[in-house]
Protein backbone atom coordinates (compact mmCIF):
# COMPACT_ATOMS: atom_id res chain seq x y z
CA UNK A 1 0.00 0.00 0.00
CA UNK A 2 1.86 3.06 -1.22
CA UNK A 3 1.73 6.33 0.65
CA UNK A 4 1.45 9.21 -1.81
CA UNK A 5 1.53 12.15 0.60
CA UNK A 6 2.01 12.87 4.28
CA UNK A 7 0.29 16.02 5.49
CA UNK A 8 0.99 17.01 9.09
CA UNK A 9 1.34 13.37 10.10
CA UNK A 10 -1.67 12.13 8.11
CA UNK A 11 -0.78 9.53 5.47
CA UNK A 12 -2.66 9.66 2.17
CA UNK A 13 -2.89 6.23 0.55
CA UNK A 14 -4.43 5.02 -2.70
CA UNK A 15 -4.94 1.27 -3.06
CA UNK A 16 -4.70 -0.38 -6.46
CA UNK A 17 -7.91 -2.07 -7.60
CA UNK A 18 -9.83 -0.97 -4.49
CA UNK A 19 -13.64 -0.90 -4.29
CA UNK A 20 -15.84 1.85 -5.75
CA UNK A 21 -16.49 4.75 -5.44
CA UNK A 22 -13.00 6.07 -6.22
CA UNK A 23 -11.52 7.31 -2.96
CA UNK A 24 -8.36 7.76 -0.93
CA UNK A 25 -7.50 6.70 2.59
CA UNK A 26 -6.29 9.21 5.18
CA UNK A 27 -4.62 7.51 8.15
CA UNK A 28 -3.63 9.24 11.38
CA UNK A 29 -2.63 7.17 14.43
CA UNK A 30 -5.61 4.88 15.16
CA UNK A 31 -7.95 6.85 12.86
CA UNK A 32 -8.72 6.12 9.24
CA UNK A 33 -11.15 7.80 6.89
CA UNK A 34 -12.10 7.04 3.28
CA UNK A 35 -12.85 10.17 1.26
CA UNK A 36 -14.54 10.02 -2.11
CA UNK A 37 -12.42 11.76 -4.73
CA UNK A 38 -15.20 13.31 -6.80
CA UNK A 39 -17.39 14.73 -4.03
CA UNK A 40 -14.90 14.84 -1.11
CA UNK A 41 -17.57 13.25 1.08
CA UNK A 42 -16.50 10.94 3.87
CA UNK A 43 -17.40 7.42 2.80
CA UNK A 44 -16.38 5.72 6.05
CA UNK A 45 -14.40 6.39 9.21
CA UNK A 46 -13.28 9.53 10.97
CA UNK A 47 -10.32 11.75 11.81
CA UNK A 48 -9.88 14.33 14.55
CA UNK A 49 -11.41 17.63 13.36
CA UNK A 50 -8.13 19.58 12.90
CA UNK A 51 -6.61 16.83 10.73
CA UNK A 52 -9.84 16.33 8.80
CA UNK A 53 -9.99 20.04 7.94
CA UNK A 54 -6.38 20.00 6.68
CA UNK A 55 -6.95 16.90 4.55
CA UNK A 56 -10.15 18.24 2.99
CA UNK A 57 -8.41 21.56 2.27
CA UNK A 58 -5.55 19.66 0.60
CA UNK A 59 -7.98 17.48 -1.39
CA UNK A 60 -9.87 20.52 -2.71
CA UNK A 61 -6.62 22.09 -3.87
CA UNK A 62 -5.44 18.91 -5.57
pLDDT at position 17: 79
Summarize pLDDT for 9-59 with one digit per residue, the tens.
999 999 877 888 899 999 999 999 999 999 999 999 999 999 999 999 999
pLDDT at position 11: 97
Residue 44 in contact with residue 25, Cβ under 8 Å? no
SS (H, E, C) 1-62: CCEEEEECCEEEECCCCCCCCCEEEEEECCEEEEEECCCCCEEEEECCHHHHHHHHHHHHHC
pLDDT at position 2: 80
pLDDT at position 1: 64
Amino acid sequence: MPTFFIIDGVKIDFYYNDHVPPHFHAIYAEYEVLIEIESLKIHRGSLPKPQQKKILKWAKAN
